[in-house]
A and B are shown apart, each in its own frame.
Chain A
Amino acid sequence: MRSKPRLLIALDILSAVMILTAAGLVFFYAPVEKLMGAVQKVFYFHVATAWVGMLGFSAAALAGVFYLREGKERWDIVGVSAVEISLVFFLAAIVLGSIWARPIWNTWWTWDPRLTTAAIVELIYGAYMLLRSGVDDPDRRARFSAVYALFGFISVPLTFISIRLLRTIHPVVIGSAEAASQGGFNMDASMQITFFFSLAAFSIFFADLLWHRIRLGELNSAVETLRVETNQEGI
Protein backbone atom coordinates (compact mmCIF):
# COMPACT_ATOMS: atom_id res chain seq x y z
CA MET A 1 0.00 0.00 0.00
CA ARG A 2 1.38 3.34 -1.03
CA SER A 3 1.48 5.89 1.75
CA LYS A 4 0.30 9.43 1.29
CA PRO A 5 2.86 11.42 -0.73
CA ARG A 6 4.77 14.12 1.15
CA LEU A 7 3.90 16.73 -1.45
CA LEU A 8 0.21 16.03 -1.00
CA ILE A 9 0.50 16.59 2.76
CA ALA A 10 2.29 19.88 2.06
CA LEU A 11 -0.47 20.83 -0.36
CA ASP A 12 -3.12 20.01 2.28
CA ILE A 13 -1.47 22.36 4.74
CA LEU A 14 -0.89 25.06 2.13
CA SER A 15 -4.51 25.05 0.97
CA ALA A 16 -5.83 25.13 4.55
CA VAL A 17 -3.60 28.09 5.38
CA MET A 18 -4.51 29.89 2.18
CA ILE A 19 -8.28 29.40 2.56
CA LEU A 20 -8.09 30.67 6.15
CA THR A 21 -5.98 33.64 5.07
CA ALA A 22 -8.39 34.40 2.26
CA ALA A 23 -11.29 34.34 4.71
CA GLY A 24 -9.28 36.64 6.99
CA LEU A 25 -8.62 39.04 4.13
CA VAL A 26 -12.29 39.06 3.17
CA PHE A 27 -13.46 39.80 6.70
CA PHE A 28 -10.79 42.13 8.03
CA TYR A 29 -8.74 43.54 5.17
CA ALA A 30 -11.08 44.22 2.26
CA PRO A 31 -13.08 47.42 2.71
CA VAL A 32 -16.85 47.47 2.96
CA GLU A 33 -18.30 48.49 -0.39
CA LYS A 34 -20.05 51.85 -0.18
CA LEU A 35 -23.35 51.09 -1.93
CA MET A 36 -23.92 47.42 -1.21
CA GLY A 37 -22.44 47.11 2.24
CA ALA A 38 -21.15 43.91 3.79
CA VAL A 39 -23.01 41.55 1.47
CA GLN A 40 -20.63 42.51 -1.33
CA LYS A 41 -17.97 40.43 0.46
CA VAL A 42 -19.71 37.32 -0.79
CA PHE A 43 -18.29 38.26 -4.17
CA TYR A 44 -14.74 37.11 -3.37
CA PHE A 45 -15.70 33.52 -2.70
CA HIS A 46 -18.53 33.53 -5.23
CA VAL A 47 -16.18 34.21 -8.13
CA ALA A 48 -13.51 31.90 -6.71
CA THR A 49 -15.89 28.93 -6.37
CA ALA A 50 -17.41 29.53 -9.82
CA TRP A 51 -13.91 29.73 -11.27
CA VAL A 52 -12.94 26.43 -9.67
CA GLY A 53 -16.14 24.90 -11.01
CA MET A 54 -15.39 25.95 -14.56
CA LEU A 55 -11.80 24.84 -14.14
CA GLY A 56 -12.93 21.36 -13.17
CA PHE A 57 -15.50 21.00 -15.94
CA SER A 58 -12.90 22.07 -18.49
CA ALA A 59 -10.42 19.62 -16.99
CA ALA A 60 -13.03 16.87 -17.31
CA ALA A 61 -13.55 17.60 -21.01
CA LEU A 62 -9.80 17.60 -21.56
CA ALA A 63 -9.43 14.34 -19.63
CA GLY A 64 -12.23 12.95 -21.82
CA VAL A 65 -10.31 13.80 -24.98
CA PHE A 66 -7.17 12.19 -23.57
CA TYR A 67 -9.10 9.11 -22.53
CA LEU A 68 -10.56 8.66 -26.00
CA ARG A 69 -7.11 9.07 -27.55
CA GLU A 70 -5.11 6.90 -25.18
CA GLY A 71 -7.61 4.68 -23.41
CA LYS A 72 -5.82 4.85 -20.07
CA GLU A 73 -8.00 4.31 -17.00
CA ARG A 74 -6.20 7.14 -15.26
CA TRP A 75 -7.84 9.76 -17.49
CA ASP A 76 -11.27 8.44 -16.60
CA ILE A 77 -10.47 8.80 -12.91
CA VAL A 78 -9.25 12.35 -13.52
CA GLY A 79 -12.48 13.15 -15.37
CA VAL A 80 -14.88 11.87 -12.75
CA SER A 81 -12.81 13.42 -9.95
CA ALA A 82 -12.88 16.84 -11.58
CA VAL A 83 -16.63 16.66 -12.24
CA GLU A 84 -17.46 15.53 -8.70
CA ILE A 85 -15.48 18.33 -7.08
CA SER A 86 -16.70 20.97 -9.51
CA LEU A 87 -20.35 20.04 -9.00
CA VAL A 88 -19.98 20.92 -5.33
CA PHE A 89 -18.04 24.13 -5.93
CA PHE A 90 -20.37 25.28 -8.66
CA LEU A 91 -23.38 24.70 -6.43
CA ALA A 92 -21.62 26.73 -3.74
CA ALA A 93 -21.11 29.52 -6.28
CA ILE A 94 -24.82 29.51 -7.15
CA VAL A 95 -25.85 29.59 -3.50
CA LEU A 96 -23.39 32.39 -2.70
CA GLY A 97 -24.66 34.31 -5.70
CA SER A 98 -28.23 33.95 -4.47
CA ILE A 99 -27.25 35.30 -1.06
CA TRP A 100 -25.80 38.35 -2.78
CA ALA A 101 -28.70 38.74 -5.19
CA ARG A 102 -31.42 38.81 -2.52
CA PRO A 103 -30.58 42.30 -1.18
CA ILE A 104 -29.08 43.67 -4.44
CA TRP A 105 -31.54 42.48 -7.06
CA ASN A 106 -34.34 41.96 -4.55
CA THR A 107 -34.76 38.34 -5.62
CA TRP A 108 -33.01 35.02 -4.96
CA TRP A 109 -33.07 34.06 -8.59
CA THR A 110 -33.57 35.58 -12.02
CA TRP A 111 -33.48 33.89 -15.42
CA ASP A 112 -30.40 35.81 -16.40
CA PRO A 113 -27.96 34.17 -18.86
CA ARG A 114 -25.27 33.39 -16.32
CA LEU A 115 -27.65 32.09 -13.70
CA THR A 116 -29.56 30.02 -16.20
CA THR A 117 -26.39 28.69 -17.79
CA ALA A 118 -25.04 27.86 -14.33
CA ALA A 119 -28.20 25.88 -13.55
CA ILE A 120 -27.93 24.02 -16.85
CA VAL A 121 -24.25 23.28 -16.27
CA GLU A 122 -25.19 21.69 -12.94
CA LEU A 123 -27.86 19.66 -14.69
CA ILE A 124 -25.49 18.51 -17.45
CA TYR A 125 -22.91 17.27 -14.99
CA GLY A 126 -25.61 15.83 -12.75
CA ALA A 127 -26.67 13.86 -15.83
CA TYR A 128 -23.03 12.88 -16.26
CA MET A 129 -23.05 11.29 -12.80
CA LEU A 130 -26.33 9.52 -13.56
CA LEU A 131 -24.88 8.18 -16.79
CA ARG A 132 -21.90 6.81 -14.89
CA SER A 133 -24.05 5.12 -12.29
CA GLY A 134 -26.18 3.56 -15.04
CA VAL A 135 -23.32 1.79 -16.84
CA ASP A 136 -21.67 -1.14 -15.08
CA ASP A 137 -18.84 -2.10 -17.40
CA PRO A 138 -15.86 0.12 -16.40
CA ASP A 139 -14.43 0.45 -19.90
CA ARG A 140 -17.76 1.36 -21.43
CA ARG A 141 -18.53 3.74 -18.56
CA ALA A 142 -15.24 5.51 -19.17
CA ARG A 143 -15.86 5.88 -22.91
CA PHE A 144 -19.42 7.13 -22.46
CA SER A 145 -18.57 9.64 -19.80
CA ALA A 146 -15.64 10.94 -21.83
CA VAL A 147 -17.96 11.52 -24.79
CA TYR A 148 -20.62 13.12 -22.62
CA ALA A 149 -18.14 15.41 -20.85
CA LEU A 150 -16.95 16.57 -24.25
CA PHE A 151 -20.48 17.20 -25.50
CA GLY A 152 -21.39 19.10 -22.36
CA PHE A 153 -18.31 21.24 -22.62
CA ILE A 154 -19.13 22.18 -26.21
CA SER A 155 -22.80 22.90 -25.61
CA VAL A 156 -22.30 25.21 -22.61
CA PRO A 157 -20.91 28.19 -24.58
CA LEU A 158 -23.71 27.82 -27.13
CA THR A 159 -26.28 27.76 -24.34
CA PHE A 160 -24.71 30.83 -22.82
CA ILE A 161 -24.74 32.75 -26.09
CA SER A 162 -28.35 31.77 -26.75
CA ILE A 163 -29.55 32.96 -23.38
CA ARG A 164 -27.36 36.03 -23.45
CA LEU A 165 -29.09 37.17 -26.62
CA LEU A 166 -32.31 37.41 -24.62
CA ARG A 167 -31.22 39.75 -21.83
CA THR A 168 -28.80 40.09 -18.97
CA ILE A 169 -28.66 41.89 -15.66
CA HIS A 170 -25.64 40.08 -14.22
CA PRO A 171 -22.85 42.59 -13.49
CA VAL A 172 -19.59 42.27 -15.38
CA VAL A 173 -17.10 43.32 -12.73
CA ILE A 174 -13.89 42.94 -14.70
CA GLY A 175 -13.57 44.86 -17.94
CA SER A 176 -16.80 46.83 -18.17
CA ALA A 177 -17.86 50.14 -16.72
CA GLU A 178 -21.51 50.19 -17.74
CA ALA A 179 -22.51 47.57 -15.20
CA ALA A 180 -22.73 49.89 -12.20
CA SER A 181 -26.49 50.16 -12.43
CA GLN A 182 -26.84 46.36 -12.24
CA GLY A 183 -24.81 46.02 -9.06
CA GLY A 184 -21.36 46.14 -10.57
CA PHE A 185 -18.54 48.09 -8.94
CA ASN A 186 -14.90 48.99 -9.39
CA MET A 187 -12.36 47.29 -7.20
CA ASP A 188 -9.76 49.33 -5.35
CA ALA A 189 -6.28 47.91 -4.63
CA SER A 190 -7.13 46.11 -1.37
CA MET A 191 -10.23 44.58 -2.97
CA GLN A 192 -8.12 43.35 -5.86
CA ILE A 193 -5.59 41.78 -3.54
CA THR A 194 -8.35 39.98 -1.65
CA PHE A 195 -10.00 38.92 -4.91
CA PHE A 196 -6.91 37.46 -6.53
CA PHE A 197 -5.78 35.87 -3.29
CA SER A 198 -9.15 34.11 -2.94
CA LEU A 199 -8.89 32.97 -6.53
CA ALA A 200 -5.43 31.52 -5.90
CA ALA A 201 -6.49 29.97 -2.59
CA PHE A 202 -9.44 28.17 -4.15
CA SER A 203 -7.41 27.05 -7.14
CA ILE A 204 -4.86 25.44 -4.85
CA PHE A 205 -7.64 23.95 -2.73
CA PHE A 206 -9.10 22.51 -5.93
CA ALA A 207 -5.77 21.00 -6.97
CA ASP A 208 -5.46 19.47 -3.50
CA LEU A 209 -8.94 17.97 -3.57
CA LEU A 210 -8.45 16.74 -7.12
CA TRP A 211 -5.27 14.95 -6.14
CA HIS A 212 -7.02 13.34 -3.17
CA ARG A 213 -9.92 12.24 -5.31
CA ILE A 214 -7.69 10.83 -8.07
CA ARG A 215 -5.73 8.96 -5.43
CA LEU A 216 -8.98 7.59 -4.02
CA GLY A 217 -10.05 6.48 -7.50
CA GLU A 218 -6.75 4.73 -8.11
CA LEU A 219 -6.80 2.98 -4.74
CA ASN A 220 -10.36 1.97 -5.50
CA SER A 221 -9.42 0.36 -8.78
CA ALA A 222 -6.41 -1.31 -7.12
CA VAL A 223 -8.74 -2.82 -4.52
CA GLU A 224 -11.03 -3.98 -7.30
CA THR A 225 -8.15 -5.70 -9.10
CA LEU A 226 -7.03 -7.40 -5.87
CA ARG A 227 -10.55 -8.59 -5.20
CA VAL A 228 -10.83 -10.15 -8.64
CA GLU A 229 -7.44 -11.83 -8.19
CA THR A 230 -8.26 -13.32 -4.79
CA ASN A 231 -11.59 -14.57 -6.10
CA GLN A 232 -9.84 -16.37 -8.91
CA GLU A 233 -7.36 -17.95 -6.53
CA GLY A 234 -10.16 -19.01 -4.19
CA ILE A 235 -11.81 -20.96 -6.99
Chain B
Amino acid sequence: MRSYFKAVGAVIWKDFRAEWRSRENLSAMLVFALLVILIFNFALELDLDTRASLSAGVLWTTFIFAGTIGLNRSLAVEKDRGCLDGLLLAPVDRSVIYFGKAVGNLLFMVVVEAIVLPVFSFLYGFNVFQPGFLGVVILGSIGYTAVGTLLSTMVVQARTRDILLPILLFPLTLPVVIAAVKASQGFFQNTPLAEFSVWINILVAYDLVFIAVAMMVFDYVLED
Protein backbone atom coordinates (compact mmCIF):
# COMPACT_ATOMS: atom_id res chain seq x y z
CA MET B 1 0.00 0.00 0.00
CA ARG B 2 2.83 2.37 0.81
CA SER B 3 4.50 1.75 -2.50
CA TYR B 4 1.16 2.49 -4.17
CA PHE B 5 1.00 5.95 -2.62
CA LYS B 6 4.66 6.48 -3.41
CA ALA B 7 3.96 5.74 -7.06
CA VAL B 8 0.97 8.12 -7.11
CA GLY B 9 3.15 10.74 -5.46
CA ALA B 10 5.83 10.24 -8.11
CA VAL B 11 3.34 10.92 -10.92
CA ILE B 12 2.13 14.08 -9.17
CA TRP B 13 5.69 15.23 -8.47
CA LYS B 14 6.60 14.69 -12.13
CA ASP B 15 3.68 16.89 -13.21
CA PHE B 16 4.62 19.61 -10.79
CA ARG B 17 8.27 19.65 -11.84
CA ALA B 18 7.35 19.82 -15.49
CA GLU B 19 4.92 22.62 -14.75
CA TRP B 20 7.44 24.48 -12.63
CA ARG B 21 9.87 24.56 -15.55
CA SER B 22 7.44 25.88 -18.15
CA ARG B 23 4.61 27.39 -16.08
CA GLU B 24 2.56 27.26 -19.29
CA ASN B 25 -0.45 25.49 -17.96
CA LEU B 26 -0.98 27.32 -14.70
CA SER B 27 -0.45 30.76 -16.13
CA ALA B 28 -2.84 30.05 -18.99
CA MET B 29 -5.50 28.82 -16.59
CA LEU B 30 -4.98 31.78 -14.30
CA VAL B 31 -5.10 34.51 -16.93
CA PHE B 32 -8.09 32.83 -18.51
CA ALA B 33 -9.92 32.66 -15.17
CA LEU B 34 -9.33 36.34 -14.48
CA LEU B 35 -10.53 37.23 -17.96
CA VAL B 36 -13.72 35.25 -17.49
CA ILE B 37 -14.43 37.16 -14.27
CA LEU B 38 -13.80 40.41 -16.09
CA ILE B 39 -16.13 39.46 -18.93
CA PHE B 40 -18.86 38.43 -16.53
CA ASN B 41 -18.51 41.70 -14.73
CA PHE B 42 -19.44 43.58 -17.90
CA ALA B 43 -21.81 41.04 -19.44
CA LEU B 44 -23.95 40.80 -16.30
CA GLU B 45 -23.33 44.24 -14.83
CA LEU B 46 -22.63 42.84 -11.42
CA ASP B 47 -23.85 45.70 -9.29
CA LEU B 48 -24.63 45.42 -5.62
CA ASP B 49 -28.17 44.09 -6.04
CA THR B 50 -27.48 41.28 -8.49
CA ARG B 51 -24.16 40.30 -6.98
CA ALA B 52 -25.50 38.33 -4.04
CA SER B 53 -27.52 35.94 -6.17
CA LEU B 54 -25.24 35.69 -9.22
CA SER B 55 -21.72 35.59 -7.91
CA ALA B 56 -21.71 31.90 -6.94
CA GLY B 57 -22.64 31.08 -10.52
CA VAL B 58 -19.99 33.41 -11.92
CA LEU B 59 -17.35 31.91 -9.68
CA TRP B 60 -18.12 28.31 -10.62
CA THR B 61 -18.39 29.06 -14.31
CA THR B 62 -14.93 30.59 -14.05
CA PHE B 63 -13.51 27.54 -12.28
CA ILE B 64 -15.11 25.14 -14.73
CA PHE B 65 -13.81 26.99 -17.80
CA ALA B 66 -10.33 27.37 -16.39
CA GLY B 67 -10.38 23.73 -15.31
CA THR B 68 -11.15 22.63 -18.87
CA ILE B 69 -8.04 24.36 -20.15
CA GLY B 70 -5.90 22.63 -17.55
CA LEU B 71 -7.43 19.21 -18.18
CA ASN B 72 -7.03 19.52 -21.92
CA ARG B 73 -3.35 20.38 -21.63
CA SER B 74 -2.51 17.91 -18.90
CA LEU B 75 -2.96 14.81 -21.02
CA ALA B 76 -2.20 16.40 -24.39
CA VAL B 77 1.32 17.16 -23.19
CA GLU B 78 1.85 13.55 -22.10
CA LYS B 79 0.65 12.28 -25.43
CA ASP B 80 2.54 14.69 -27.70
CA ARG B 81 5.89 14.22 -26.02
CA GLY B 82 5.49 10.47 -25.81
CA CYS B 83 5.43 10.48 -22.02
CA LEU B 84 2.22 8.48 -21.88
CA ASP B 85 4.03 5.43 -23.26
CA GLY B 86 6.67 5.86 -20.58
CA LEU B 87 4.01 6.01 -17.90
CA LEU B 88 2.31 2.92 -19.29
CA LEU B 89 5.59 1.00 -19.25
CA ALA B 90 6.13 1.74 -15.56
CA PRO B 91 5.64 -1.42 -13.48
CA VAL B 92 2.70 -0.04 -11.50
CA ASP B 93 -1.04 -0.55 -11.45
CA ARG B 94 -2.86 1.51 -14.08
CA SER B 95 -5.00 3.17 -11.43
CA VAL B 96 -1.79 4.76 -10.10
CA ILE B 97 -1.57 6.75 -13.32
CA TYR B 98 -5.20 7.77 -13.01
CA PHE B 99 -4.88 8.92 -9.41
CA GLY B 100 -1.57 10.63 -10.06
CA LYS B 101 -2.94 12.60 -12.99
CA ALA B 102 -6.26 13.32 -11.28
CA VAL B 103 -4.66 14.60 -8.08
CA GLY B 104 -2.19 16.62 -10.14
CA ASN B 105 -5.04 18.21 -12.09
CA LEU B 106 -6.91 18.83 -8.86
CA LEU B 107 -3.90 20.57 -7.32
CA PHE B 108 -3.48 22.79 -10.39
CA MET B 109 -7.13 23.72 -10.19
CA VAL B 110 -6.82 24.44 -6.46
CA VAL B 111 -3.77 26.66 -7.07
CA VAL B 112 -5.75 28.67 -9.61
CA GLU B 113 -8.69 28.86 -7.22
CA ALA B 114 -6.41 29.98 -4.42
CA ILE B 115 -5.38 32.97 -6.53
CA VAL B 116 -8.81 33.71 -8.05
CA LEU B 117 -10.71 33.62 -4.77
CA PRO B 118 -8.87 36.50 -3.05
CA VAL B 119 -9.20 38.55 -6.23
CA PHE B 120 -12.89 37.75 -6.30
CA SER B 121 -13.22 38.63 -2.65
CA PHE B 122 -11.37 41.90 -3.25
CA LEU B 123 -13.48 42.86 -6.27
CA TYR B 124 -16.90 41.96 -4.93
CA GLY B 125 -16.52 42.20 -1.19
CA PHE B 126 -17.48 38.65 -0.33
CA ASN B 127 -15.92 36.86 2.57
CA VAL B 128 -14.69 33.75 0.81
CA PHE B 129 -12.47 32.64 3.66
CA GLN B 130 -15.02 30.45 5.39
CA PRO B 131 -13.92 26.86 6.06
CA GLY B 132 -17.26 25.47 4.87
CA PHE B 133 -17.14 27.36 1.60
CA LEU B 134 -13.54 26.32 0.95
CA GLY B 135 -14.65 22.74 1.59
CA VAL B 136 -17.32 23.13 -1.10
CA VAL B 137 -14.70 24.48 -3.52
CA ILE B 138 -12.51 21.43 -2.88
CA LEU B 139 -15.41 18.96 -3.16
CA GLY B 140 -16.60 20.50 -6.41
CA SER B 141 -13.10 20.51 -7.86
CA ILE B 142 -12.60 16.86 -6.90
CA GLY B 143 -15.73 15.77 -8.76
CA TYR B 144 -14.84 17.86 -11.77
CA THR B 145 -11.26 16.65 -12.08
CA ALA B 146 -12.17 13.02 -11.32
CA VAL B 147 -14.42 12.87 -14.37
CA GLY B 148 -12.34 15.34 -16.38
CA THR B 149 -9.09 13.39 -16.06
CA LEU B 150 -10.71 10.23 -17.34
CA LEU B 151 -12.42 11.98 -20.24
CA SER B 152 -9.33 13.93 -21.24
CA THR B 153 -7.39 10.66 -21.38
CA MET B 154 -9.93 9.54 -23.98
CA VAL B 155 -10.06 12.84 -25.77
CA VAL B 156 -6.30 13.12 -26.45
CA GLN B 157 -6.55 9.89 -28.39
CA ALA B 158 -9.35 11.21 -30.60
CA ARG B 159 -8.99 13.00 -33.92
CA THR B 160 -11.20 15.92 -32.80
CA ARG B 161 -9.43 16.36 -29.50
CA ASP B 162 -9.31 20.14 -29.43
CA ILE B 163 -13.05 20.53 -29.24
CA LEU B 164 -14.24 17.32 -27.68
CA LEU B 165 -13.45 17.69 -23.97
CA PRO B 166 -15.97 20.38 -22.96
CA ILE B 167 -18.69 18.73 -25.04
CA LEU B 168 -18.19 15.44 -23.22
CA LEU B 169 -17.46 16.89 -19.81
CA PHE B 170 -20.05 19.62 -19.24
CA PRO B 171 -23.23 17.54 -19.47
CA LEU B 172 -21.75 14.88 -17.18
CA THR B 173 -20.60 17.32 -14.52
CA LEU B 174 -23.82 19.27 -14.34
CA PRO B 175 -24.75 17.83 -10.92
CA VAL B 176 -21.42 19.13 -9.58
CA VAL B 177 -22.07 22.59 -10.96
CA ILE B 178 -25.63 22.77 -9.63
CA ALA B 179 -24.72 21.48 -6.18
CA ALA B 180 -21.55 23.57 -5.87
CA VAL B 181 -23.32 26.76 -6.95
CA LYS B 182 -26.20 26.18 -4.55
CA ALA B 183 -23.90 25.36 -1.64
CA SER B 184 -21.69 28.38 -2.34
CA GLN B 185 -24.75 30.59 -2.54
CA GLY B 186 -25.78 29.31 0.87
CA PHE B 187 -22.46 30.39 2.33
CA PHE B 188 -22.43 33.75 0.53
CA GLN B 189 -25.91 34.63 1.76
CA ASN B 190 -25.27 33.32 5.28
CA THR B 191 -28.18 30.87 5.20
CA PRO B 192 -28.21 28.30 8.03
CA LEU B 193 -26.19 25.25 7.02
CA ALA B 194 -29.12 22.85 7.55
CA GLU B 195 -31.00 24.48 4.66
CA PHE B 196 -28.41 23.69 2.02
CA SER B 197 -26.44 20.78 3.49
CA VAL B 198 -28.24 18.50 1.01
CA TRP B 199 -26.12 20.05 -1.77
CA ILE B 200 -22.96 19.14 0.05
CA ASN B 201 -24.26 15.57 0.34
CA ILE B 202 -24.81 15.49 -3.40
CA LEU B 203 -21.27 16.70 -4.00
CA VAL B 204 -19.85 13.98 -1.74
CA ALA B 205 -22.02 11.32 -3.37
CA TYR B 206 -21.00 12.43 -6.87
CA ASP B 207 -17.32 12.44 -5.94
CA LEU B 208 -17.41 8.96 -4.44
CA VAL B 209 -19.45 7.39 -7.24
CA PHE B 210 -17.39 8.83 -10.06
CA ILE B 211 -13.99 8.22 -8.49
CA ALA B 212 -14.98 4.58 -8.01
CA VAL B 213 -16.29 4.16 -11.58
CA ALA B 214 -13.38 6.06 -13.13
CA MET B 215 -10.90 3.86 -11.29
CA MET B 216 -12.65 0.75 -12.60
CA VAL B 217 -12.77 1.81 -16.24
CA PHE B 218 -9.47 3.68 -16.53
CA ASP B 219 -7.74 0.57 -17.86
CA TYR B 220 -10.01 0.60 -20.88
CA VAL B 221 -9.35 4.15 -21.98
CA LEU B 222 -5.58 3.72 -22.14
CA GLU B 223 -3.83 2.48 -25.21
CA ASP B 224 -2.74 -1.12 -25.00
The answer to whether A136 touches B159 (Cβ under 8 A) is yes
| Other-chain residue from B151, B159, B199, B202 in contact with A134 (beta carbon distance below 8 A) | B159
Asked whether A68 is an interface residue with its Cβ less than 8 Å from the other chain, the reply is: yes
The answer to whether A143 touches B175 (Cβ under 8 A) is no
| Other-chain residue from B151, B154, B175 in contact with A159 (beta carbon distance below 8 A) | B175
> In whole angstroms, how far apart are the Cα atoms of A123 and B221 in the complex?
22
A7-15, A22-30, A161-169, A192-200: which one contacts chain B?
A161-169
> In whole angstroms, how far apart are the Cα atoms of A224 and B29 in the complex?
44
B18-26, B70-78, B94-102, B204-212: which one contacts chain A?
B204-212
> In whole angstroms, how far apart are the Cα atoms of A127 and B174 in the complex?
14
> In whole angstroms, how far apart are the Cα atoms of A118 and B211 in the complex?
25
**Smallest CB separation, A87 vs chain B (Å):** 14
The answer to whether B178 touches A155 (Cβ under 8 A) is no
Asked whether A219 is an interface residue with its Cβ less than 8 Å from the other chain, the reply is: no
The answer to whether A158 touches B159 (Cβ under 8 A) is no
| Other-chain residue from A146, A154, A163 in contact with B210 (beta carbon distance below 8 A) | A154
| Other-chain residue from A143, A144, A146, A159 in contact with B174 (beta carbon distance below 8 A) | A159
Asked whether B179 is an interface residue with its Cβ less than 8 Å from the other chain, the reply is: yes
How many B residues have CB within 8 A of the partner chain? 31
The proximity string for B residues 147-164 relative to A, scoring 1 for CB distances below 8 Å and 0 otherwise, is 100110010011111001
Within A133-172, which residues are at the interface with B (CB < 8 Å)? 133-136, 140, 143-144, 146-148, 150-152, 154-155, 158-159, 161-163, 165-166
The answer to whether A68 touches B217 (Cβ under 8 A) is yes
Question: Could you say which residues of chain A place their CB within 8 Å of the CB of B209?
Answer: 154, 158
What is the count of residue pairs linking A and B with beta-carbon distances less than 8 angstroms? 84
**Smallest CB separation, B92 vs chain A (Å):** 21
Question: How many of chain A's residues touch chain B, expressed as a range?
Answer: 20 to 34
Asked whether A124 is an interface residue with its Cβ less than 8 Å from the other chain, the reply is: yes
| Other-chain residue from B160, B171, B223 in contact with A124 (beta carbon distance below 8 A) | B171
The answer to whether B202 touches A158 (Cβ under 8 A) is yes
Question: Could you say which residues of chain A place their CB within 8 Å of the CB of B159?
Answer: 134-136
**Smallest CB separation, A140 vs chain B (Å):** 6
The answer to whether A147 touches B220 (Cβ under 8 A) is yes
The proximity string for B residues 164-188 relative to A, scoring 1 for CB distances below 8 Å and 0 otherwise, is 1001100111110011000000000
Asked whether A131 is an interface residue with its Cβ less than 8 Å from the other chain, the reply is: yes
Asked whether B213 is an interface residue with its Cβ less than 8 Å from the other chain, the reply is: yes
Within A60-107, which residues are at the interface with B (CB < 8 Å)? 68
The answer to whether A147 touches B154 (Cβ under 8 A) is yes
The answer to whether A124 touches B172 (Cβ under 8 A) is yes
> In whole angstroms, how far apart are the Cα atoms of A5 and B96 in the complex?
49
Question: Could you say which residues of chain A place their CB within 8 Å of the CB of B150?
Answer: 147, 151
Asked whether A120 is an interface residue with its Cβ less than 8 Å from the other chain, the reply is: yes
A residues at B contact (CB < 8 Å): 68, 120, 123-124, 127, 130-131, 133-136, 140, 143-144, 146-148, 150-152, 154-155, 158-159, 161-163, 165-166
